[in-house]
Amino acid sequence: MTGRIHSFESFGTVDGPGIRFVVFLQGCPLRCQYCHNPDTWGHGGEEHTAEDVAARALRYRNYFGDKGGVTVTGGEPLLQTEFVIELFTILKSKGIHTCVDTSGITFRADDPESVKKHEALLEVTDLFLLDIKHIDEEACKKLTGHSNRNTLVFAEFLSERGKKMWIRQVLVPGLTDSEASLRRTRVFLDKLNTVEKVEVLPYHTLGVVKYEKLGMEYPLKGVEAPTKESVQEAKRILRGEEGDV
């Protein structure tokens, strides 16, 4: 089986535990206003077999060792779930830690085939990095073009099946940083049993140059990065470090 690959990163340090070999898959149904990888949205990329990608990753095993591993991200990697399953099956046979960075947008709880496919993924995935774009459905639609329902249901699906997850929240001033929405997110997280970590990712403008190269207008022109104080406050709320919320 082949997958459409956007790029590789051999020494990732922000996509899961330890040092990671990171595989960026091509394609994404979301149009997040703060996305810094708009070049992963379309159907481009290069075709690679799962065996080829696994072989590339294993060349760096001495670097990531037992504390690191391989992460697939995107784009939205679970647009190519079957490819990820095949890749991770190979990697697990070699004792490699596997991780998926996903929005959960592909999951359909009312579709038996979708449930079956994602259950097969769980069998070969050690950790999920789950991006909660926004806890409010209407705000999520404005922010990404899609509802947050699949994301939240997928989080519950992972929790019910005992799969470890790290929750990720991008903090964008004026869009995702309201105290009310952060507290609602924390209330939702309190319902989950397998959240090991909550990461607050400060919004940045490093992707602006990509929009310019693609001839696209940057959606958040003029929006500044959040202050250190607002990031710390978001962390306190989302991690439940201030008591009951």
Map out the domains of the chain as residue ranges.
2-238
**Rounded mean pLDDT, 223-245:** 87
> What is the spatial order of strands in the sheet that 127-131 belongs to?
46-49, 2-12, 20-25, 69-73, 98-102, 127-131, 165-171, 195-202
Comparing 138 with 207, which gets the higher pLDDT?
138
pLDDT, averaged across the chain: 95
Residues 131-134: contacts with CB under 8 Å, at least 24 apart: 131/101, 131/102, 131/103, 131/104, 131/168, 131/169, 131/170, 132/167, 132/168, 132/169, 132/185, 133/30, 133/32, 133/103, 133/170, 133/176, 134/175, 134/176, 134/181
Measured CA to CA in angstroms, residue 134 lies from 122, 141, 223 at distances of 24, 9, 18
What is the C-alpha separation between 23 and 90, in angstroms, rounded?
A: 15
Judge whether 191 and 227 are in contact, CB under 8 Å: no
CATH topology of domain 2-238: TIM Barrel (3.20.20)
Spatial distance between the Cα atoms of 166 and 85, rounded to a whole number of angstroms: 20
d(CA 146, CA 24): 21
* Tens-digit pLDDT profile for residues 63-99: 998 899 999 999 999 999 999 999 999 999 999 999 9
Reported confidence tier of residue 161, pLDDT bands at 50, 70, 90: very high
Q: How confident is the model at residue 37 (pLDDT cuts 50, 70, 90)?
A: confident
**CB atoms inside a 10 Å sphere around CB 207:** 16
Instruction: Write out pLDDT tens, residues 171-224.
Output: 999 999 999 999 999 999 999 999 999 999 999 988 888 888 889 999 999 999
Q: Does 242 score more than 70 pLDDT?
A: no
C-alpha distances in angstroms, 73 versus 101, 130, 177? 5, 11, 24
Segment 102-116, tens digit of pLDDT: 999 999 999 999 999
